[in-house]
Amino acid sequence: MEGTAMSAPLAIEQDVSRQWQQALDRALAAHEQESATAYYTYIALAFPADTPYTSNANPLIDFRSLKRWARERGWRVLPSRQASPSDKYRPPVRFMRHASPLH
């Protein structure tokens, strides 16, 4: 019984993460430009790091999972050039479409 109680918060966290990933997937699929920028906080909710958060204001992102996920959908993940001093610890995340191969 204890194992179930301990895994419930993890299951909820994973469900929330999946919901954010699905929302990001829909947004990128509908995006017609070659690049897109997303708020760091939204990406951290979709791809939370296993490492404990440094704070609620500055959660960590699992960049390996994010990059793999983006690559599977035809995007690359890059640091945003639009970061401002106030975004020092949570800069926007930029997505760039992979170039389509010429056939």
User: For the segment 10-69, what is each residue's pLDDT rounded down to a tens digit?
Assistant: 677 888 999 999 999 999 999 999 999 999 989 999 999 987 566 666 788 999 999 999
Question: CB count, 10 Å around CB of 89?
Answer: 12
Q: Which single residue is written with the structure tokens 């170039």?
A: 99
pLDDT of residue 1: 42
The structural domains of the chain, with segments of one domain joined by +, span: 2-97
Is residue 4 predicted with pLDDT exceeding 60?
Answer: no
Could you tell me the pTM of the whole model?
0.78
Is residue 86 predicted with pLDDT exceeding 80?
Answer: no
pLDDT of residue 13: 81
Q: Tell me how far CA of residue 38 lies from CA of 7, 29, 51, in angstroms.
A: 30, 14, 22
